[in-house]
């Protein structure tokens, strides 16, 4: 007890700040690694790191030599392998908790926007017209928006339906929605490289998954084969959701001030709908 008292008596404000920073970095690093595509590779690297002191302890000279030299050369290889994850981590750390667009929101406008999106999605699903809408969140999607046609238009059911009508110039790409604005249409998205997905998942859904793997965006998809409504978040696809679930999702996007918790909330609610 005396030793514990001495330890705590020597803890100052700088020590608390130091511990808080380390905890923050480790915790959010764990969150990023937990769901990323390279998590199995991370487990392998951790195992190899653990083997280094074990090999030295038991005088396994050859194993120790190989591991030490592999890590010296492998640092550059890791940068290449983890490039998407490193970029995502840096973007995550660079986010700001308060944005001007978020401060300008109000419940009345949000409710109207939700109604317009629900109406458009319902109509597209009923007619089995394929659609893909990407909701921008903390990480900007400027490069993706530039791949399409800039609209910067107010969100309306009629406009969304017209964009996705077959054989029109913009129907084949994705719509980027930034808060209350349809920022761009006909945008090209990166396809997921996940080879474990079911073969019946089409290009539109794979693009939605790929976009959410590389950013914190939420993707809303309407299947042209079945008319099913699905959404993707953090590389996970939730298929054939109900209109009530759609309204709840949009309500959390537009009316929940703590947007950081959306993914965790929906992961818990939809555990049985994971791929």
Q: What is the CATH number of the domain that holds 265?
A: 3.40.1700.10
Same domain, 44 and 139: no
CA atoms of 41 and 20, how far apart (whole Å): 28
Same domain, 198 and 72: no
Q: State residue 101's pLDDT score.
A: 44
Q: State residue 125's pLDDT score.
A: 96
Q: State residue 264's pLDDT score.
A: 56
Q: State residue 257's pLDDT score.
A: 44
Same domain, 224 and 159: yes
Same domain, 77 and 124: no
Q: What's the total number of domains in the chain?
A: 2
Angle between helices 83-93 and 13-35 (to 10 degrees): 140
Q: State residue 26's pLDDT score.
A: 74
Same domain, 150 and 251: yes
Q: State residue 252's pLDDT score.
A: 87
Q: Which of 65, 93, 121 is the last residue of a domain?
A: 93
**Closest by Cα among 41, 21, 39, 18 to 30:** 39
Alpha helices in the chain (DSSP H): 2-9, 13-35, 39-57, 61-81, 83-93, 100-103, 107-126, 142-146, 157-164, 203-213, 243-255, 262-269
CB-based contacts of 11, cutoff 8 Å, min separation 6: none
Q: State residue 112's pLDDT score.
A: 93
Q: State residue 270's pLDDT score.
A: 53
Q: State residue 259's pLDDT score.
A: 43
pLDDT digits (tens, 9 = 90+) for 159-200: 999 999 999 999 989 999 998 999 999 999 999 988 888 888
Q: Which of 66, 93, 120 is the last residue of a domain?
A: 93
**Closest by Cα among 198, 192, 190, 274 to 239:** 274
Same domain, 56 and 139: no
Residue 48: give the domain boundaries: 2-93
Same domain, 142 and 200: yes
| 225 within 8 A of 231, measured Cβ to Cβ | no
Q: Which of 93, 128, 157 is the last residue of a domain?
A: 93
Same domain, 114 and 228: yes
Same domain, 129 and 228: yes
Same domain, 120 and 250: yes
Q: Which residues does the chain have with pLDDT short of 70?
A: 1, 4-10, 28-43, 72-107, 256-275
CA angle 240, 171, 166 (to 5 degrees): 85
Same domain, 153 and 212: yes
Same domain, 89 and 111: no
pTM, 2 dp? 0.63
């Amino acid at each position: 007890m005396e030793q514990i008292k001495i330890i705590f008596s020597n803890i100052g404000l700088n020590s608390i700040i130091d511990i808080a920073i380390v905890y923050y970095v480790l915790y959010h690093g764990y969150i990023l690694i937990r769901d990323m595509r390279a998590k199995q590779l991370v487990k392998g690297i951790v195992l190899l790191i653990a083997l280094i002191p074990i090999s030295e302890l038991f005088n396994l000279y050859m194993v120790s030599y190989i591991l030490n030299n592999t890590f010296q050369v492998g640092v550059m290889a890791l940068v290449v392998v983890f490039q998407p994850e490193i970029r995502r981590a840096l973007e995550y750390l660079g986010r700001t908790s308060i944005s001007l667009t978020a401060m300008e929101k109000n419940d009345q406008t949000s409710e109207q926007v939700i109604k317009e999106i629900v109406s458009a999605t319902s109509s597209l699903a009923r007619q089995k017209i394929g659609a893909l809408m990407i909701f921008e969140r903390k990480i900007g999607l400027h490069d993706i928006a530039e791949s399409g046609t800039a609209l910067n238009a107010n969100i309306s059911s009629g406009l969304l339906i017209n964009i996705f009508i077959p054989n029109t110039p913009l129907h084949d790409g994705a719509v980027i929605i930034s808060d209350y604005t349809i920022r761009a249409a006909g945008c090209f998205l990166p396809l997921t490289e996940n080879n474990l997905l079911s073969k019946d998942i089409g290009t539109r859904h794979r693009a939605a998954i790929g976009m959410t793997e590389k950013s914190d965006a939420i993707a809303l998809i309407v299947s042209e084969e079945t008319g099913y409504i699905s959404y993707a978040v953090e590389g996970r696809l939730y298929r054939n959701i109900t209109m009530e679930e759609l309204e709840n999702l949009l309500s959390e996007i537009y009316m929940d001030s703590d947007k950081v918790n959306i993914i965790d909330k929906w992961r818990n609610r939809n555990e049985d709908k994971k791929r």
